């Protein structure tokens, strides 16, 4: 499949919703270097900040002020998002290989960056629905969350060569639950405000 233009990538994103394993296989087959992958991750994060910022501007002033206290500038938002992508990629690699998977860190990062690009497209849709009506915006957010989890399970399965999707589902949910238990007290001990990862999680929906 030729991926020379923006429309080619958007077409692949649409196909990912139908055939996630086949589509992420195309992404993994590109074989870009780690440096190129890092630059791609940075680019995807930057464009993802646009709809997120616009949706924030639609929130009440109180919400905007609280957000700005935690994230005083775009660089802070970018840094948190960048760190989150690499942390997620590390977890996908380490835990997957622990359970017999064969995926590399570059494979995991490629899949996570591709997932982030699809999230960007979903955020654009959410932004449009926010202008139309609040209930439609909430529904779009719920559907986006379901889509992202569905894609994540399939991406992990493809990256590591797992054949049982249900094992991936239960394993991923167990890891997420474990992180929800371990991370809050750990980050609090390090002096990180809990609002940071709460807002980050909300943005990913």
Q: Which residue has the higher pLDDT, 55 or 105?
A: 105
Mean pLDDT (the chain, rounded): 84
Q: Which residue has the higher pLDDT, 142 or 68?
A: 142
pLDDT band at 14 (very low <50, low <70, confident <90, very high): very high
Residue 121 has pLDDT above 90, yes or no: yes
pLDDT band at 47 (very low <50, low <70, confident <90, very high): very high
pLDDT at res. 2: 66
As a whole number, mean pLDDT of residues 89-103 equals 91
As a whole number, mean pLDDT of residues 139-156 equals 93
Residues of the chain with pLDDT > 90, as a percent, come to: 43
Residue 200 has pLDDT above 80, yes or no: no
- Taking the model in full, what pTM does it have? 0.84
As a whole number, mean pLDDT of residues 171-178 equals 86
What lies within 8 Å, CB to CB, of 30 at 6+ separation is: 3, 110
pLDDT band at 145 (very low <50, low <70, confident <90, very high): very high
pLDDT at res. 189: 62
DSSP alpha helices (H): ranges in 30-104?
34-57, 61-70, 74-98
pLDDT band at 27 (very low <50, low <70, confident <90, very high): very high
* Calpha distance 159→30 (Å, rounded): 14
Cβ pair 110, 69 in contact under 8 A: no
* Calpha distance 40→166 (Å, rounded): 31
Q: How many CB atoms lie within 10 A of CB 3?
A: 13
């Amino acid at each position: 499949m030729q991926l020379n233009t923006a429309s080619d990538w958007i077409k692949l994103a649409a196909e990912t919703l139908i055939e996630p394993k086949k589509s992420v296989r195309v992404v993994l087959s590109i074989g870009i270097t780690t440096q190129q992958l890092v630059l791609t991750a940075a680019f995807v994060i930057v464009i993802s900040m646009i709809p997120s910022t616009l949706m924030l501007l639609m929130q009440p002033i109180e919400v905007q002020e609280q957000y700005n206290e935690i994230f005083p500038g775009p660089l802070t938002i970018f840094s948190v998002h960048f760190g989150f992508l690499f942390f997620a990629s590390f977890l996908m690699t380490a835990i997957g290989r622990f359970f017999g998977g064969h995926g590399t860190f570059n494979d995991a990062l490629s899949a996570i960056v591709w997932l982030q690009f699809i999230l960007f497209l979903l955020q654009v849709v959410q932004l449009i629905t926010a202008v139309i009506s609040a209930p439609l915006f909430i529904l779009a957010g719920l559907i986006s969350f379901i889509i992202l989890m569905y894609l994540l399970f399939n991406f992990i399965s493809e990256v590591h060569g797992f054949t049982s999707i249900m094992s991936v589902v239960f394993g991923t949910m167990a890891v997420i639950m474990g992180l929800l238990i371990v991370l809050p007290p750990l980050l609090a001990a390090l002096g990180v405000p809990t609002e940071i990862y709460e807002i980050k999680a909300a943005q990913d929906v």
